[in-house]
Structure 1
Amino acid sequence: MNMKMSMSDAKVILGFLLLILLIWAGYNSEHSDNKRLQTVTSFWLGSIVFMLMFYIAFSY
């Protein structure tokens, strides 16, 4: 199985990371008074980012 990351994979991942960052910033600015909601949102978005970084690190 070929697990090498291509340039198109890298572009998609960077675009997805940018989208996650924009969602996180916008959502937390709307709900800045609810700290518990910010924590849950940050955890799930952080876990998605971690999985993408894991893929990047082990695909070379």
Structure 2
Amino acid sequence: MSSSQPDKLRPTRRSELIAFLVLAFGVWPFIAVGVVGGFGFLVWMSQIVLGPPGPPTGLH
């Protein structure tokens, strides 16, 4: 055998396409929403603790 993998274990074009579709439309959207939502939550919590953004008040 010249191949390093047996023919049964080699990925086919169909299985690669299915894996791509599952990642592109199943996994990555949830990861993207989680990252954006996590960043929004971090900003929200920091504003609760540190106050809203803007110039400091009462310095006149």
Higher RCO (CA 8 Å, separation ≥ 6 residues) = 1
Q: TM-score range by the shorter chain?
A: 0.3 to 0.5
Q: What is the TM-score normalised by the length of structure 2?
A: 0.44
Greater percentage in helix: 1
- Between structure 1 and structure 2, the one with the greater Rg is 2
